[in-house]
Chain A
Amino acid sequence: MPQEAVFSSGVDGMVDSKDLSRAGIGWVGRHLLDLEEKPPEAIQAILRTASCFKEDRDLEWSQILRGKVVCNLFFEDSTRTRTSFSLAARKLGANVVEFTSRGSSMSKGESFVDTARNLEALGADAVVVRHHTPGTPHLLTKHLRASVINAGDGAHEHPTQGLLDILTILEVKKRVDGLKVCLVGDISHSRVARSNIWGLKKLGAQVVVCGPKTLIPPQISHLGVQISHDLDEVIPECDVINILRIQFERQRTGLFPSIREYRHLFCVDARRMALAKPDVLILAPGPINRGVEISPEVADGPNSRILDQVTNGLVVRMAGLYLTMGQPRPTEGSP
C-alpha cells in the first residue's frame, strides 16, 4: 500500500521529516474542523508534521508563529486540551489569549458569534474553539477570517484527539493500515470516537466499536465500522484498544443500569487482557475512571501508552496550529 509507505518513511525515517516544510505536503485548508472532511493525504501531512515537532529544537520552533495571536475560546470545561493548546501555541512563539465562557460577556447574553468577532478584532489569527454544540466551529468559519481549530464540538468531533491517538498507534505499531482497532464505551456521545473512526478508516484500519446497546447507535455502521456488544468476543482480534471515558450522568438518563454492571461487562481488566494479543496497545483519551472502564493494573501496565498520548497531544496541536496558520490569510470574507 502506498499509504503505508508514506508512513514508514514519515515516522521511522525521522531524518526526512526533520524538514518541516516537506512534512506538511498534502495539507489542505485554513481550518481544522473535523477529520471527516480531510483527505488521507492531509491527515498524513499533519501526522508527519507532528512527528517533526517531537525533535528537541525548541529555539527554532519558537520563531514559527512569532507575533501571531491564538485565542482559546472554550465554552465547556477543559483542562487538558486547553493547557495543551496553550503550550503548543507558546512553543511556536504565538501569543495566547484565554477565553472561557464563565466571567465573560456570554453570561450577559452576547452571542458566541459576537464574542468570537470581538476576539478577532483584538487580532486573533487562529481561534481554538470548544463548544457543547456540534458544528459551532464550522459556524465560526462563516463569520471569522481567522483560522478555526475544533477542540471538541459536542459529540461530533475532536480532531486533535483523534490524531494524537493515531500518532501514538503509529509510533508503537509503525503502521495503521490493516490494524484492527476497537473503541470501547459510549460511542453515542463521543466526539473522540467519531474522530478516531474517520482518521483510522482513512488510513486503512479496521474499526470495531464495542459497548452497551444504548450507547451505540446502529447507524454508526454507516461510518464503516463493525459493531459489537461483547468485549470478550472482540478482544482477541484487536491490535489496539482505545477505551473511552464513561460519563456517569448517562446512567441517570436511563442509558445503562449501573456503574457496577458497566464495569462487569466492559471494564478492560487483567482477566480480559489475558484474552488479548500480547502486544495489544491500550489507549485511553482520559481523564480515566480507574476501576470503571479500565482497571489500574491495565492503565499502568506495559501495554498502556496513556502518558505518551498526552505528549503526542502537544505536538499534534503544534502541527495543527502551524499548518492552519501557515496558509495566507484572505483579505475579505472567507471561503
Chain B
Amino acid sequence: MTLRCIRGGRIIDPSQSIDQEGDLWIEDQRIRGVGNKQTGQPYDVIDARGMIVVPGLVDMHVHLCEPGDENNETIETGTKAALESGFTSLAVMPDTEPAIDTQSSAEFITAQAKRAGHVNVFPIGALTKGRKGEELAEMGGLLEGGAVAFSDSDRPVANAEIMRRGLEYATMLNKAVLSRPEVEELTRRGIMNEGNTSVALGMPGIPTAAEQIQVDRDLHLAKWTGAKLHLQSLSCEGSVESVRRAQAEQVPVTAEANPHHFILTDVELRSFDSNFKVNPPLRSERDVRAVIRGLKDGTISVIASDHSPFATELKLRELDEAPFGIIGIETMLPLCIKHLVHPGHLTWPQLIEKLAFNPARVLGINRGTLREGRPADVTIIDPNEEWTIDCQRFRSRSRNSPFHGWTVRGRVAMVLVAGHTKYVRPGWRATEASLERR
C-alpha cells in the first residue's frame, strides 16, 4: 500500500460540494479522502499550498483523427496534449476513417490509448453505420467495445426517423446520444456565420436557423422517446433558449459549449484567417452573451473543446477549401479562467463542475470526482501563473489555434492519473519536494 498526500491546496470537488483548503489523500490508485483526519505515514507529500486541486478534468468532445488522419493528430499526441493541459479523461468522437461503428474499432481506440499511456480515453460510437445516417450501427457491440455514448459527430443525422430509432435504442442501453445540431441543406457552401460580416465580405453564410431547427427537432425527439440527449457545441441564442425551455419541461437534455463560441465573434473572419473557420461558426456578440448566460444559469452544463486538429497545409488553403475546426484542448482551461472566472460569470467550483463532474455524468463514467474510492485522477492548477499561448509549443500535432499569442493566467502544475504522477510542469516549485521523498 502506498499513501500519498496532496497538502494544503484549495480542494474543489463540485460532486461533493467541497471547496476548502486541506489535504487530499490517495491510497494506491484511488482517492482515500479529503481532510486532515487521515492516519498513516504518507509515502510522499506534494506541497500544493497556493494551488487549486481538482478532479482530473474531462473533455467529452475531441477529435483525435486516428485511425485515418494521423497527419493531423494521433491518439498518442492528442492524449499527451490533454494530459499536460489537466485533462485526464477524453471522450473521442467517431468521425475517423473508417468510422468507429463496430466493437472492434472501438477496441482499437482504447488499445491505442493504453499503448500511449497518458490519460483515460472513452470512445464515442457512431450512431449509424459509417455515419451515413441510414442504418443504426451495432450499438450493443460498440458498448461492449468500450463506447460510452453514441453520435454521428459532425455529420448530424438528417433523417428524423433514424434519429428517433437511434434515441430509442440508446435508452435500452442507458447511454446518451450526442448531437451536433445542424440542418445541412441550410449550411451547404457556408464558410462563416450569416450576418453583417459575411454579407460585407461576400462570404456564403451559415445561418443560426440551421442550428436552431435541428436543436428543436432533437428536443422533440428526446421528449418523445425519453432518451438522454446531449447537444454539442451550442453557438447561438435561439439554441440556448430552446434548451432552457426544454429543461423546464423536464426533457432529459444536457448541453455543451466550446470556448471559442463564448470568446470570439464572426468579426474575426475579417482577417480571412482560416483558424477562425469552425463549425458551428463564430457568431455575433449577442450570441456570445447568450452562451455565457446559458453557462451561468446552468442551461449549458458542460464545457468541451471540440478539439479539431488540422495540419497546417490543410488550413493554408483558400477559406472555402480549408477544413472547419479549431484545436482547443491545450487552451481550454486558461481561456475558461480568463473569460468565465475572472469576469465573474462562473465561480471556480462552477467551472470545475462543467469541466469535470458534469461531462462524466453525461457519459456515465466513474470520473470527474474526488469521492472516496474513485480512481485518483487529480489535476493541480497554479491559478496565478501568467503565460503566453504559443502554438509552436503545443503537444498536439497541429497548430490551428486562433489563440496563439494570447496572454492568460492559470496553468496546470501537476497531473495524476489513477494515483500515478503523469505530469509535473518543468520548474514547478513543488517538484523537488515531491520527488525527493520517493
| Chain A residues close to B by CB (< 8 Å) | 36, 111-113, 131-136, 138-139, 153-157, 188-191, 194, 217, 219-220, 222-223
Instruction: Known pairs A133-B320, A139-B318; list 13 more (Cβ under 8 Å).
Output: A111-B316, A112-B318, A133-B321, A134-B191, A134-B319, A135-B203, A139-B319, A154-B202, A155-B204, A219-B198, A219-B199, A222-B196, A223-B200
**A113: B residues at CB distance < 8 A:** 316
Q: Is the CB of B203 within 8 A of A111?
A: no
Return A216 CB to nearest CB of chain B, in Å. Answer: 10
Whether A133 contacts B318 in the complex (CB less than 8 A), given A154-B203, A156-B203, comes out as yes
Task: Report the separation of the CA atoms of residues A156 and B272 in the bound assembly, to the nearest whole angstrom.
Answer: 11
A135's nearest neighbour on chain B, judged by CB, is B272
Determine if B203 and A222 form an interchain contact, defined as CB atoms under 8 angstroms apart.
no
Q: Residue-by-residue, is B356-391 near A (CB-CB < 8 Å gives 1, otherwise 0)? A: 000000000000000000000000000000000000
B201 at the interface (CB under 8 A from A): yes
Grouping DSSP codes into helix (H, G, I), strand (E, B) and loop, the B interface class, with mixed when no group exceeds half, is loop
B202 touches A191 (CB 8 A): yes
User: How many angstroms from the CA of A51 to the CA of B89 in the assembled complex?
Assistant: 67
Q: Is B313's CB within 8 Å of the partner chain A?
A: yes
Encode contact with A along B175-207: 1 for CB under 8 Å, 0 otherwise: 000000000000000010011101111111100
- B291-318 vs A, Cβ < 8 Å mask (1 yes, 0 no): 0000000000000000000000100111
Which residues from chain B contact A132 at a C-beta distance below 8 Å?
320
A149 to chain B, nearest CB (A): 16
Interface centre among B194, B201, B204, B320 (most CB of A within 10 A): B201
**Cβ B317 vs Cβ A111 within 8 A:** yes
Q: How far is the CB of A25 from chain B (nearest CB, A)?
A: 29
User: Cα distance A113–B195 when bound, in Å?
Assistant: 28
The docked-state distance in angstroms from the alpha carbon of A113 to that of B318 is: 9
CA distance in complex: A188, B202 (Å): 7
* Cβ-neighbour of B272 out of A134, A219, A220, A223 (below 8 A): A134
Bound Cα distance from A79 to B204, whole angstroms:
25
Return chain B residues, CB-CB under 8 Å to A138. 272
Report Cα–Cα, A233/B342, bound state, in Å.
55
Docked-complex contact A219 and B313, CB < 8 angstroms: no
Can you offer 14 A-B residue contacts whose CB atoms are under 8 A? A132-B320, A134-B191, A134-B319, A139-B272, A139-B318, A139-B319, A153-B202, A155-B202, A155-B203, A155-B204, A156-B201, A217-B205, A219-B198, A223-B200
In whole angstroms, what is the CA distance A138 to B270 when docked? 10
Whose C-beta in chain A lies nearest to the C-beta of B199?
A219
Give A222 to B198 CA distance when docked, in angstroms.
11
How far in angstroms is the closest Cβ of chain A from B54? Answer: 40
Given contacts A133-B321, A139-B272, contact A156 B202 (CB under 8 A): yes
Instruction: Give every chain A residue within 8 A of B317 (Cβ-Cβ).
Output: 111-112
A111 to B201, CA, bound (A): 22
- Point out the residue from A131, A136, A219 that lies within 8 Å of B195, measured CB to CB: A219
Q: How far is the CA of A154 from the CA of B191 in the complex (A)?
A: 12
Alpha-carbon distance between A222 and B204 when the two chains are bound, in angstroms:
17
Residues of A within 8 A of B198 (CB): 219
User: How far does the Cβ of B408 sit from chain A's closest Cβ, in whole Å?
Assistant: 25
Assess the B199–A222 pair: CB atoms within 8 A.
yes
Chain A: minimal CB distance from B391 (Å) = 16
Task: Return the chain B residue nearest A154 by Cβ.
Answer: B202
* A26: min CB distance to chain B, Å: 24
Using CB atoms, name the residue of chain A closest to B205.
A217
B203 and A134 contact, CB distance less than 8 A? yes
Contact of A135 with B200 in the complex, beta carbons under 8 Å: no
How far, in angstroms, from A78 to B72 measured CA to CA in the complex? 36
Whether A194 contacts B313 in the complex (CB less than 8 A), given A112-B318, A131-B318, A133-B319, comes out as no
Complex CA distance for A135 and B191, rounded to whole angstroms: 12
Mask: chain B, 78-101; 1 = CB below 8 Å from A; 0 = not: 000000000000000000000000
Nearest chain B residue, comparing its CB with the CB of A113: B316
Indicate which residue in A135, A157, A191, A223 contacts B319 across the interface (CB closer than 8 Å). Answer: A135
How near does chain A come to B152, taking the closest CB pair, in angstroms?
26
**Known contacts A134-B272, A138-B272, A219-B195; is-contact A36 B318 (Cβ 8 Å):** no
- Alpha-carbon gap, A173 to B318, bound state (A): 40
**With the chains together, A139 CA to B202 CA distance in Å?**
16
A-B pairs, 8 with minimum CB distance: A135-B272, A155-B202, A156-B202, A133-B318, A219-B199, A217-B199, A222-B196, A219-B196
Residue of B nearest to A36 (CB): B200
The CA of A194 and the CA of B197, in the complex, are separated in Å by 12
Which residue of chain B lies nearest to A137 when distances are taken between CB atoms in the complex? B272
A138 to B318, alpha carbons, bound, how many Å? 11
A155 to B321, CA, bound (A): 16
CA separation between A139 and B315, bound complex, in Å?
Answer: 12
Q: What is the CA–CA distance of A156 and B191 in the complex, to the nearest angstrom? A: 13
